[in-house]
Amino acid sequence: MSRALLVPAAVAVALVAAGCGTPETSTGANTEAGISIFNTEPENPLVPGNTTEVGGSHVLDPMFTGLVEYRSEDAQPVNAMAESIQTDDSKLFTVKIKKGWTFHDGSPVTAKSFVDAWNWTAYGPNATQGASFFSQIEGYQDVNPKDPDGADGPQQAPAPTADKLSGLKVVDEHTFTITLSEPFAVFPVTVGYEVFAPLPEAFFKDRQAFEAHPIGNGPFKFVSRTVGTDIKLTRFDDYKGEDKPKFKDLTLKIYQSRESAYADLVANNLDFMEELPPNALAGKKYETDLGDRVVSRETLNNQTIAFPFYTKPYDNASLRRAISMSINREEITQRIYEGSRKPADGWVHPLMKGYRAGQCGQHCEYNPEKAKEEFAKSGYTGEIVLLSNTDGGHQEWAEAVANSIKNTLGVEARFVPSTSFGEFRQKVNAHEMTGMYRSGWIADYPSIENWLTPLFRTGASSNDGLYSNPAFDAKLAEADKAPSEAEAIKLYLEAERMLADDMPSIPLWTQNTIAGKSNRLKVANLHPFRKLDLDSVEVVA
Residues forming the site for another protein (CB under 8 A): 41-45, 52-53, 124-132, 144, 146-147, 150-151, 157, 211, 227-229, 254-257, 259-261, 263-264, 266-267, 269, 391, 419-426, 429, 439-442, 454, 461-462
Nearer to another protein, 271 or 374 (CB): 271
Residue type, 322: A
Q: How far apart are CA 478 and CA 472, in angstroms?
A: 10
Q: How far apart are CA 433 and CA 38, in angstroms?
A: 35
Angle between helices 395-409 and 317-325 (to 10 degrees): 110
Nearer to another protein, 246 or 517 (CB): 517
- Shortest distance in whole angstroms from residue 418 CB to another protein: 9
- Shortest distance in whole angstroms from residue 421 CB to another protein: 5
Q: Are 119 and 163 in contact (CB under 8 A)?
A: yes
Q: How far apart are CA 263 and CA 269, in angstroms?
A: 8
Closest CA to 180 of 235, 141, 236: 141
- Shortest distance in whole angstroms from residue 446 CB to another protein: 17
Nearer to another protein, 162 or 263 (CB): 263
- Shortest distance in whole angstroms from residue 481 CB to another protein: 24
Phi-psi region of 361 (alpha: psi -120 to 50; beta: other; left: phi over 0): left
The whole-angstrom distance between residue 109's C-alpha and the CA centroid of its chain comes to: 27
Nearer to another protein, 65 or 119 (CB): 119
Beta bridge partners of 79: 68
- Shortest distance in whole angstroms from residue 89 CB to another protein: 28
CA distances to 120, 121, 155, 312, 389 from 418, in Å: 37, 33, 30, 21, 4
- Shortest distance in whole angstroms from residue 156 CB to another protein: 8
Nearer to another protein, 153 or 483 (CB): 153
Please tell me what DSSP assigns to residue 444.
S
- Shortest distance in whole angstroms from residue 25 CB to another protein: 33
Nearer to another protein, 147 or 331 (CB): 147
Q: Are 33 and 539 in contact (CB under 8 A)?
A: yes
CA distances to 186, 331, 341 from 194, in Å: 17, 38, 28
Nearer to another protein, 209 or 541 (CB): 209
Backbone angles phi, psi at 17, to 5 degrees: -60, -45
Nearer to another protein, 210 or 366 (CB): 210
- Shortest distance in whole angstroms from residue 516 CB to another protein: 14
Dihedral sign of CA atoms 121, 126, 131, 132 in order:
positive
